[in-house]
Chains A and B, each alone.
Chain A
Amino acid sequence: MSRKGVGLAAFDRSRITSAQYASHGSSLRSTDASAFETQLSVFRSLLQQFAQTHAKDIRSNPTFRAQFARMCAAIGVDPLTSSNTTSSGSDKGGGQSIWAQLLGRTVNDFYFELAVRVVEVCGETRGENGGLIEVRKVRESLMGKSMEGAPEITEDDILRAVGTLKPLGSAYSVIKVGSKPYIRSVPKELNTDQSAVLEAVQVLGYISVSMLMDNLKWARARAQTALEDLVGEGMLWVDAQADECEYWSPGFMLESQRQEAAAG
């Protein structure tokens, strides 16, 4: 009889307790949220200042640029998209547009310009590589062309630049072959066998039917088909003067040039 919590009042009590917990929790949440919002707005304004003062560094220093881009991404500010997408957290419309303008002059243009040059490289080399080029090769090609003292470009920059092309509905996309990122400038899907072949080609620069049979345990017909498909797409070159037909990745043309330059 005297045990607590058994009577009807116990139900009331527990209801009251849980309601109190809930109200306290929500008040905690709201204070947390407002605190976070304040922090975020403070941080944004600091970031804005930061971008303003370091605009030059952002343009010229690749590691700095990458860090900055990562930082922006982490707090939900994408320097590459237009200003509208991040307007929710800000109550000052004017400040927002300055923010966008500011970045527009520094980071945005940098990536757009880079994107144009990436498109140029892809277009120039499409005939020899079938529209699939390793990001590293694009970088080499861009660095080779640019003048002395031009800002250094990283692969990260190139990937971001290709990302800026997305709103144009273009065919440019980044795909992974093995562990390496490639830019694909023709709208084609690679099947798994083709990807496997391209991955295998990365090792030596070339591959043959028997190498595929040995290493991937493929039947001859399968290896032959995959290779011929890729030749048909213009993504591999045939060397018929070897003992066995060798299928070369056009990316290795750039490679050999570097070796040549180092040797000579």
Chain B
Amino acid sequence: MQSAPPPFVFPREYSFPPFFTRQTNLTTHHAQLVKWASLVLTYCRHHRIFKLSLSGQPPVPTPQATPTTTTTTTTANLDITTPTTTTSSSSSSSDELFHNRKLNRRLSLADAREVIDFLRKDGRAEYVAGGGSSSSKDSGDVAWIYWRTPEEWAALIEAWVDETGQKGSVLTLYELTQGDATRGAEFHGLDPELLQKALGTLVKRQKAQIFGHEDSQGVKFF
């Protein structure tokens, strides 16, 4: 009953034990993937998770975006979502997502990758280059989950810039996602890397220009 976001309501299939076992029948498996894909997207959207770690490790906190003022956080630090679930020591997002403690069922890493691959075909996910550590063994454990694609984020930002009449003016990347002006906008609290990707699509379309150094980048919209 606090201002915290309401708990995520898992879909019916989350309480269906076979949901966590890769189905052998092709048609059934496809139905299973579709359900998992939509669950991953809605779950990440609900908790505003931009990067999902598949191996159960908490996602690597992003360097500059760690504000404690708002409810939106990029690291998935979750409350208990079902009344019967006990708080666990590792509150990693994907752990709860892929592991139903109540049923004691877990989607294996390989199967989770398959879900991500399925999302990738739809343009709704992308493995984070390097995947936390640079070794190839770990690559593919952290993935961007595009419940909004970079293009969609870009469109939102563009619309906001247009609405607030800031075309032609220069904004810092920090103020775009963390500033007071964008509070309430959906892209407030956006992962900086994802912001870069989004702005990148605007730059490609010659709608924006990014300049500046690593930590103090600015962007100008046309």
Q: Which residues of A contact B (CB under 8 A)?
A: 126-128, 130, 206, 231-234, 237-242, 246, 248, 250, 252-254, 256-257, 259-260, 263-264
Contacts and interface: CB of A to CB of B under 8 A. Distances in A.
A74 to B, nearest CB: 41
A239 B20 contact: yes
Given A260-B10, A263-B83, A241 B27 contact: no
A232 B25 contact: yes
A239 B10 contact: no
Contact of B11 (A127, A233, A240, A257): A257
Given A237-B16, A238-B18, A239-B20, A127 B27 contact: yes
Contacts of B30: 127
B11 to A, nearest CB: 7
B79 interface: no
Contact of B31 (A127, A206, A231): A127
Interface of B: 9-13, 15-21, 23-25, 27-28, 30-32, 34-35, 82-84, 104-106
A2 to B, nearest CB: 94
Closest 8 CB pairs of A and B: A257-B12, A127-B31, A237-B18, A256-B15, A239-B18, A128-B31, A239-B17, A240-B21
A256 B106 CA distance: 17
A253 B10 contact: no
B16 A253 contact: yes
Given A237-B21, A239-B105, 6 more contacts: A128-B28, A128-B31, A128-B35, A237-B28, A238-B18, A241-B106
A2 B13 CA distance: 96
